[in-house]
């Protein structure tokens, strides 16, 4: 990946993410497809485990025990995938490997048996409270704090079951916190990655979130993708901050996620009709 691109101010960068669909391209694609809810739920389970849109699209249409059987084969990673490569594992789920990944899938198969989609139904019963949703997610082996946050976000934005997020819960992770501090330092003509005043951390996070919500929702009237059913809020600000931090460090050129997701999906297109349908609804690069 080339790092030689123009670094954009967070407002310009955030506008791009929201207009292009690159804020969360997976969410856009999933709300565009016309799948049975059981297929969608099984896609989500596979994605939460392996963080691969291609693999999730291939395995989501399998029935019951067949679904779990292929999930275990992928977790074991001893044979080649249908596309001829090793079974994929997104870097976001880098800890879902080896015995941890195998044991997790086996536990899920034991609990949910012929109805894999019941995992999502159990999680949904915790809505709309964020802490209850994430507690139910973390009851499953191999599902820690970060993936629990991601599950709650997808329950809200993809499944359409409202989840109430609070600022403290969202900003328990280091990347959005660091990005908020970087933005605050920038606004106050301080060293970008320098420390912020001790004892003012929570106040600074709150002020940054309020300022960015005021801009994206209040001034620009951006509606939250993919459903466009409310104004941009806390979850979207968290994503904008995280991606802007990567953008400043040279790891996130424009359309980065759209490009990476499509590249990971392409090897699976000949083998899964769900992958081809997903691809049709993925935002376009450029």
238 is catalytic: yes
CB-based contact 258:20 (threshold 8 Å): yes
Cα separations in angstroms, 27 against 254, 259, 278? 18, 15, 10
Q: Which residues contact 218 (CB under 8 A, 6 or more apart)?
A: none
CA distance 179 to 182: 5
CA distance 166 to 92: 23
| Active-site pick, 6, 191, 238, 266 | 238
Catalytic residue IDs: 238
């Amino acid at each position: 990946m080339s790092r030689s691109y123009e670094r954009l101010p967070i407002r310009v960068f955030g506008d791009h993410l929201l207009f292009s669909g690159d804020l969360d391209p997976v969410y856009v694609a999933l709300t565009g497809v016309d799948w049975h809810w059981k297929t969608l739920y099984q896609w989500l389970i596979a994605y939460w485990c392996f963080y691969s849109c291609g693999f999730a699209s291939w395995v989501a249409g399998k029935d019951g025990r067949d679904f779990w059987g292929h999930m275990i084969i992928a977790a074991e990673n001893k044979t080649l995938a249908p596309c001829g490569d090793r079974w994929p594992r997104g870097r976001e789920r880098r800890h879902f490997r080896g015995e941890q990944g195998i044991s997790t899938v086996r536990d899920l198969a034991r609990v949910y048996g012929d109805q894999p989609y019941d995992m999502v139904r159990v999680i949904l019963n915790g809505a709309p409270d964020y802490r209850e949703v994430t507690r139910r997610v973390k009851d499953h082996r191999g599902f820690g704090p970060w993936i629990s946050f991601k599950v709650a976000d997808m329950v809200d934005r993809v499944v359409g079951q409202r989840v109430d997020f609070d600022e403290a819960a969202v900003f328990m992770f280091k990347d959005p916190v660091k990005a908020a501090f970087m933005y605050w330092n920038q606004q106050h003509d301080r060293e970008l990655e320098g420390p912020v005043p001790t004892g003012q951390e929570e106040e600074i996070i709150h002020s940054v979130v309020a300022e960015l919500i005021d801009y994206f929702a209040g001034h620009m009237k951006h509606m939250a993708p993919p459903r466009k059913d409310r104004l941009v809020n806390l979850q979207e600000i968290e994503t904008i901050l995280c991606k802007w931090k990567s953008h400043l460090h040279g790891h996130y050129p424009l359309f980065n996620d759209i490009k990476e997701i499509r590249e990971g999906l392409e090897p699976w297109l000949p083998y899964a009709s769900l992958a081809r349908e997903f691809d049709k609804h993925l935002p376009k690069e450029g």
